[in-house]
Structure 1
């Protein structure tokens, strides 16, 4: 099939375009909140720490780390942020420069780190292990193990439950033929804490040195009507792409998401039209 003969993708007119800015708006400060609840599970960062922010993105974890340490400790630590995305690293570098972080950003694959053995005292993968690395993250954990100093700390996290998944599925079942589900599946295998623990053990850490805490966090999603439209726009598309029927039933689907989300545990609706969602989180710590 020639390029000119290839059918064009259909985009519902109500859809918010899937730009980097839209995804950032959808995430809000979730990355920082996830990092904060995770960092609370380990002892305070000590003076002289050498930290790897693996899958650093624009710097959510580094932001929380720097906010957690007093000035005298901040002056003595070093942070290396790595990400396979050059755009993310560029954003990280800009944020580091603007915030005067003791940090550098490098483009690097988590499955193949170029650092020497035993480089870091801490290795932190914030919202990283379950979204990018191959082999369910085992290869990435092997690299984190290799580059940690003896006695070093590994800190990983994943969502124990995503409160938005079932509302999206319900909207899809109700408005699409044969109950077609959206392409996004929220990485359901990660909801079992033994899954992430098994991956870290397969990556080289001793079973007795691994601990998984079940925590939770709240994220203010901003204006609720806007947030639910964003959610359906970014997460609602099925594997076959959007259809004209999706456009016709767009308002119905978004209304279902709004209704169902309000029934989720911990949902808070504020008088100003903003809302907070509660997310379950698994935080894993391990010592080399």
Structure 2
């Protein structure tokens, strides 16, 4: 799913595939379900039974799963391609989607930044890139491939974090234990800034007049999803935050994360995620 140098090695995403949804507190899934219902289906290019959809850089196929959750069976697209560059993510997608009501779904190992001859020009009516844009080494290439593979009039749906709560919580935890050490870096942090996502999408070929952006806020407050996020922040995904720690400091990490989570909940009523929902028509 990701290969940016400030993210863990691809091997980690291979191991993470089976627990991806829980580790993200189901935030990427729930935001996309809302985005499909409230934004995509109210646009000039809603998804319907004649649609052909690409769930690109899909992880374990959460984009395809969100379509099933958001749409009535009569409006499900006739064809969905789920692609990711991590084979275990695609294996997880096959497992989770094998009993889905989607008429046709194919899961393939592909690099979103270079789909090549595997995906012809102008094939899809819709392309979904769900919280992956900032993980790419070459995000512009990924959006160019989205543009190339969309039909004229096709719709790209790109979601991106504006506030990724786990990074705020991890940074707060670092400051509690080792305030003298550098904070864990964020991959492609420019995408959190207003206007950056639009700029890249426009540079990839989409006309400025055909790009719109909406905001979404999700506050995670149930115990199960909060526990999943604590697992993420305590595990190898955030190992870089603990570089240079002594054994005693490492032993304090999880409890300190829980304290930082408590402070986040006191401030926002839960763990708060803010997202951009970008729609771009070819």
TM-score, normalization by structure 1: 0.79
**What is the aligned counterpart of 2:267 among 259, 264, 268?**
264
Q: Which runs of 4+ in 1 moved over 4 A?
A: 18-24, 223-229
| CA separation of 1:151 and 1:255: change in aligned 2, threshold 3 A | closer
Residue in structure 1 matched with residue 80 of structure 2 by the alignment: 79
Residue in structure 1 matched with residue 23 of structure 2 by the alignment: 26
Residue in structure 2 matched with residue 286 of structure 1 by the alignment: 280
Counterpart Cα distance in 2 of 1:283 and 1:70: 22
Render the CA deviation track for 1:129-148: whole Å, top value 9, x for unaligned. 112x222x100110110010
Kept in 2, the 8 Å contact 1:34–1:126? The answer is no
Alignment of 1:121-270 (within 5 A): 121-131=125-135, 133-135=136-138, 137-176=139-178, 178-181=180-183, 183-185=184-186, 187-220=188-221, 222-223=223-224, 226-227=227-228, 229-234=230-235, 235=238, 237-238=240-241, 240=243, 242-250=245-253, 253-265=256-268, 267-268=269-270
Gaps of 5+ in 2: 1-14
Counterpart Cα distance in 1 of 2:266 and 2:165: 10
Gaps of 5+ in 1: 1-17, 269-276
Deviation, structure 1 residue 80:
0.7
Query: Which stretch has the larger CA shift, 140-149 or 245-254?
Result: 245-254
Kept in 2, the 8 Å contact 1:184–1:236? The answer is no
Render the CA deviation track for 1:195-230: whole Å, top value 9, x for unaligned. 100110111111111111122123345358845742
Counterpart Cα distance in 2 of 1:212 and 1:60: 21
Kept in 1, the 8 Å contact 2:25–2:228? The answer is no
Q: CA RMSD in A?
A: 2.5
Max Rg structure: 1
Kept in 1, the 8 Å contact 2:166–2:233? The answer is no
| CA separation of 1:21 and 1:124: change in aligned 2, threshold 3 A | closer
Residue in structure 1 matched with residue 124 of structure 2 by the alignment: 120
Structure number having the greater helix percentage: 2
Counterpart Cα distance in 2 of 1:92 and 1:248: 35
Residue in structure 2 matched with residue 42 of structure 1 by the alignment: 40
Render the CA deviation track for 1:77-118: whole Å, top value 9, x for unaligned. 111111111111111122221224321101100011121110
